[in-house]
Amino acid sequence: MKIKCVIVDDEELARELLVEYLSDYDGIDVVAKCSGGREAIKKIDELQADLVFLDVQMPGVDGFEVLENITSDPFVIFCTAYDKYAIKAFEQNAIDYLLKPLDKARFDQAINRATERISRDESNFMHILEDFTSRQHTGYSNNLFVQKSEKLVNLPVQSIVHLEASKDYTIISTKTGQFVSSTGISKLEEKLDPQMFIRIHRSTIINLQKLVEIEKFGNGNLAARMENGKSFTISRSYAKAIKERIV
């Protein structure tokens, strides 16, 4: 049975581009193209859509209001020119979040993810976290999206005090709490500005802005004391990066 798909976007060109991209997929049937939120609410419920491509900013009723007012529970892929809505989209259990102008390769990834999840009747939005954080930034990240209970929390990197490796996971500590990331510490290091974050041990990265002092010991070892009171030994193999900053 084909996947019933509804496209919702107030721009005709955007709707037609989605139709063109979807024409490559025989298993997906575009059953409606809606130019506004009110029409979308009616069509999604009336047609019992399996998959919805949903714009966020639309006159009258926006994309989030559409989801609040439908009675059915379709899988949703957001398509928008604005990345500021990402967290709210994830909280709506979106399958994916595509930024305009649409990239065909990313679109294909989203479709593959959607068809796989629809076939398994699965809606866990956490599968797209790493994808999103890696593609939003061409340089170093200003924010990381980390899981807390059933939500994604927008974590500004400047609030991070330190990161510690724990097997395949990373414990991210702020002044007020901790988060556990399934991304390894080396992968996270690639996202962080080395002018702000420095690795002092194979298993530890610190935020230099949160570093209070460096303690010296008689045996030549160094330890970094952070503003949250925690201290970390500075490995000899990483000590050079610290010493280069001594004036």
The DSSP bridge pattern shows strands 222-226 and 51-54 to be unpaired
Q: Write out pLDDT tens, residues 82-139.
A: 777 665 655 556 788 888 899 999 999 999 988 887 876 644 444 444 445 444 444 6
Q: Write out pLDDT tens, residues 42-54.
A: 999 999 999 999 9
Specify the pLDDT at position 91: 53
Q: Which of 156-165, 208-217, 218-227 has the highest mean pLDDT?
A: 156-165
Least confident range from 16-30, 42-56, 219-233: namely 219-233
Q: Write out pLDDT tens, residues 28-76.
A: 999 999 999 999 999 999 999 999 999 998 988 998 899 889 888 888 9
CA pair distance 41, 102, nearest whole angstrom: 24
Class of 3-133 in CATH: alpha beta
Alpha carbon 27 to its chain centroid, in Å, reads: 28
Percent of the chain surpassing pLDDT 90: 48
CA pair distance 15, 227, nearest whole angstrom: 51
CA pair distance 94, 76, nearest whole angstrom: 5
Please report which residue ranges of the chain form alpha helices under DSSP H: 12-22, 37-47, 63-69, 86-91, 104-120, 129-135, 185-191, 239-243
Domain extents in the chain: 3-133, 143-243
Specify the pLDDT at position 200: 93
Give the SS3 label for residue 235.
coil
CA pair distance 215, 194, nearest whole angstrom: 22
DSSP label at residue 128 = G
Task: Residue 50: name the closest of 37, 32, 23, 69 by CA.
Answer: 32
The CATH number assigned to the domain with range 143-243 reads 2.40.50.1020
- Asked if 180 contacts 173 with a C-beta cutoff of 8 angstroms, the reply is no
